[in-house]
Amino acid sequence: MDIKKLNDEGRELWNRKAKFWDELFGDTGNVFHRRLVEPSVLELLDLRPGETVLDVSCGNGALTRRLAALGARVTAIDFSDQMIELARRRTDSAGLSVEYLVRDVTDEGALLKLGQARFDAITCSMALMDIPIIEPLFRAAASLLRADGRFVFSTMHPAFNSNNPIFLHEKEDCDGAIIERFSIKIRQYLDMPPVKGAGAPGEPTPHFYYHRPLAELLGSAFAAGFALDGLLEPAFSAGDDNEPARLSWSSFPQIPPILSGRLRHA
């Protein structure tokens, strides 16, 4: 796997998609973000006002702004200068203060320059699966965090949602009652090469997703000296779906599309 080539392609694609993403997410994020991602990240983070937070791969800054509004002193980074520009604009319009920087999280040296033991917390929402190599980020995070700091992430759930699940919708006549069932079919989990995925509905270009089985995802954090001390698997609720025939994640209240976790120095 040519990491540099994949990462460079990723940067170019995210720059091209920045405007679409910014319109999709607006000020506070899409339904996925508002219902699943942000609540689980905030629960694990348990933020106290005045804390110093680094928001990694911040996109258009939906989570970043929420952290700032909750009283954190936030630095937010992304390798897409277009995303950073759009995030900055929305943050200025909201009257919030955030330090935005263009940084590539595969560049460990650049991350380390942000400052040793500078942050109470690092957040990384819905980005680990977009990054071809995550070891440099975890290693740098171990140094950037204070001794009692935490690293809170959310990512596509490795067991159910980063390995191209096939959505199934079945209808059965059970003794005169029509029963509809939604399920997913998984064909690969342990070894899956990077594959291009369509992303959010309407996303202009597909981009590579990097599936990592749990042992690999968490193993990279453990190898950098972290231990996992919090885990959430948010899913949509049964009543959430107002279009039951649609094969979207809101049809699967029993399957969490997201995995959110909290890491601390071991």
Identity of the amino acid at 139? R
SS3 readout for 148-164: EEEEEEEEECCCCCCCC
- The correct pick among 54, 127, 258, 263 for binding ligand SAM (CB under 6 A) is 127
CA–CA gap between residue 239 and residue 241 (Å, rounded): 6
Q: How far is the CB of 50 from ligand SAM (least distance, A)?
A: 23
The answer to whether 161 contacts ligand SAM (rule: CB under 6 A) is no
- The correct pick among 72, 74, 114, 131 for binding ligand SAM (CB under 6 A) is 131
Q: How far is the CB of 79 from ligand SAM (least distance, A)?
A: 3
Polymer length of the chain: 266
Which CB sits closer to ligand SAM, 60 or 250? 60
The answer to whether 57 contacts ligand SAM (rule: CB under 6 A) is yes
CA–CA gap between residue 56 and residue 153 (Å, rounded): 9
Q: How far is the CB of 51 from ligand SAM (least distance, A)?
A: 18
Q: Are 263 and 229 in contact (CB under 8 A)?
A: yes
Q: Residue 78's beta-bridge partner residues?
A: 102
Q: Residue 156's beta-bridge partner residues?
A: 258
Edge-first strand listing for the sheet containing 119-125: 98-102, 73-78, 52-56, 119-125, 145-156, 258-265, 226-232
The footprint of ligand SAM on this chain (CB under 6 A) covers a number of residues equal to 23
Which residues in the 181-240 window bind ligand SAM by CB under 6 A? none
- The correct pick among 78, 120, 208, 255 for binding ligand SAM (CB under 6 A) is 78
Residue written as token pair 């107002």: 242
The answer to whether 80 contacts ligand SAM (rule: CB under 6 A) is yes
The answer to whether 14 contacts ligand SAM (rule: CB under 6 A) is yes
The answer to whether 79 contacts ligand SAM (rule: CB under 6 A) is yes
- The correct pick among 91, 130, 152, 224 for binding ligand SAM (CB under 6 A) is 130
- The correct pick among 53, 72, 114, 126 for binding ligand SAM (CB under 6 A) is 126
Q: How far is the CB of 47 from ligand SAM (least distance, A)?
A: 16
CA 56 to chain centre: 9
Identity of the amino acid at 165? P
Instruction: Please choose, from the candidates 239, 261, 199, the residue with its C-alpha nearest in 3D space to the C-alpha of residue 43.
Output: 261
| Interacting residues toward ligand SAM by CB under 6 A | 7, 10, 14, 25, 29, 33, 57-59, 62-63, 78-80, 83, 104-106, 125-127, 130-131
